[in-house]
Amino acid sequence: MHSLQTETLSMPMEQQQQLNIEDGSKTQRAEWMLNSPEPPGLCHEIVSSIKSAVFPNGSKHSSSSTKQTRSTAAGVVSFLHGLFPILTWGRNYKATKFRNDLMAGLTLASLSIPQSIGYATLANLAPQYGLYTSVVPPLVYALMGSSREIAIGPVAVVSLLLSSMIQNVVDPVANAVAYRKLVLTVTFFAGTFQFIFGLFRLGFLVDFLSHAAIVGFMGGAAIVIGLQQLKGLLGISHFTTKTDVVSVLEAVFRSLHHQWYPLNFVLGCSFLIFILFTRFIGRRNKKLFWLPAIAPLISVVLSTAIVFLTKADGHGVKIVKHIKRGLNPISAHELQFSGQHVGQAAKIGLVSAIVALTEAIAVGRSFASIRGYHLDGNKEMVAMGFMNIAGSLTSCYVATGSFSRTAVNFSAGCETVVSNIVMAIAVFLSLELLTRLLYFTPIAILASIILSALPGLIDIPEAYHIWKVDKMDFLACAGAFFGVLFASVEIGLVAAVTISFAKIILNSIRPSVEGLGKLPGTDIFCDINQYPMAIKTPGILIVRINSGLLCFANANFVRERIMKRVTEKDEEGEENSKERTQAVILDMSTVMNIDTSGICALQEVYNKLVSHNIHLAVANPRWQVIHKLKLAKVVDKIGKDWIFLSVGEAVDACSSKMVNFSSC
Per-residue pLDDT of 307-321, as tens digits, reads 999 999 888 899 998
Residue 571 near residue 530, CB atoms below 8 Å: no
> Model confidence at 576, in pLDDT bands (50, 70, 90)?
low
Closest CA to 637 of 661, 663, 604: 604
> Model confidence at 3, in pLDDT bands (50, 70, 90)?
very low
Length of the chain, in residues:
664
Beta bridge partners, 594, equal 550
Alpha-carbon distance of 365 to 374, in angstroms, equals 8
pLDDT beyond 80 at 17? no
Q: What average pLDDT does range 198-204 have in this prediction?
A: 81
Show the DSSP H helices in 441-531 as ranges. Answer: 443-453, 460-469, 471-486, 489-509
pLDDT beyond 80 at 15? no
Alpha-carbon distance of 638 to 647, in angstroms, equals 16
Q: What percent of the chain has pLDDT over 90?
A: 57
Q: What percent of the chain has pLDDT over 70?
A: 89
Alpha-carbon distance of 158 to 369, in angstroms, equals 25
pLDDT beyond 90 at 661? no
> Model confidence at 269, in pLDDT bands (50, 70, 90)?
very high
Question: For residue 460, is it left (φ>0), alpha (ψ between -120 and 50) or beta?
Answer: alpha
Alpha-carbon distance of 64 to 636, in angstroms, equals 46
The DSSP string of 548-599 is: SEE-TTTHHHHHHHHHHHHHHHHHHTSS-GGGS--EEEEE-TT--EE-HHHH
pLDDT of the residue at 9: 42
pLDDT of the residue at 659: 60
Q: What is the mean pLDDT of the chain?
A: 87
Could you tell me which residue, 59 or 170, shows the higher pLDDT? 170
Burial bucket for residue 309 (CB in 10 Å: 0-12, 13-18, 19+): exposed
| Cβ neighbour number for residue 27 with a 10 Å cutoff | 13
Alpha-carbon distance of 644 to 621, in angstroms, equals 8
Could you tell me which residue, 638 or 16, shows the higher pLDDT? 638
pLDDT beyond 70 at 155? yes
The secondary structure of residue 238, as a DSSP letter, is S
pLDDT of the residue at 29: 74
Map 58-88 to HEC letters: CCCCCCCHHHHHHHHHHHHHHHHHHHCCHHH
With a CB cutoff of 8 Å and minimum separation 6, the contacts of 470 are: 212
pLDDT of the residue at 585: 95
> Model confidence at 5, in pLDDT bands (50, 70, 90)?
very low
Closest CA to 317 of 266, 260, 271, 264: 264
pLDDT of the residue at 39: 83
Q: Cα 45 from chain centroid?
A: 22
pLDDT beyond 60 at 469? yes
Alpha-carbon distance of 327 to 136, in angstroms, equals 10
Which backbone phi and psi does 360 adopt, to 5 degrees? -65, -45
Tens-place pLDDT, residues 21-53:
555 566 777 778 778 888 887 677 667 766 665
Which backbone phi and psi does 432 adopt, to 5 degrees? -80, -35
pLDDT beyond 70 at 602? yes
pLDDT of the residue at 61: 44
Angle between helices 245-256 and 471-486 (to 10 degrees): 30
Q: What average pLDDT does range 88-100 have in this prediction?
A: 89
> Model confidence at 92, in pLDDT bands (50, 70, 90)?
confident
> Model confidence at 629, in pLDDT bands (50, 70, 90)?
very high
What angle (nearest 5°) sits at the alpha carbon of residue 342, between those of residues 340 and 348? 125
The secondary structure of residue 328, as a DSSP letter, is P
Amino acid of residue 274: F
Q: Which stretch of DSSP H or E encloses residue 193?
A: helix 176-199
Burial bucket for residue 189 (CB in 10 Å: 0-12, 13-18, 19+): buried
pLDDT beyond 80 at 356? yes
Q: What average pLDDT does range 626-654 have in this prediction?
A: 92
pLDDT of the residue at 52: 63
pLDDT beyond 90 at 557? yes
Q: What average pLDDT does range 97-102 have in this prediction?
A: 93
Burial bucket for residue 158 (CB in 10 Å: 0-12, 13-18, 19+): buried
| Cβ neighbour number for residue 546 with a 10 Å cutoff | 15
Alpha-carbon distance of 422 to 639, in angstroms, equals 69
Could you tell me which residue, 82 or 647, shows the higher pLDDT? 647
Q: What is the dihedral of CA 570, 575, 579, 582, to 10 degrees?
A: 50
Closest CA to 336 of 178, 551, 542, 502: 178
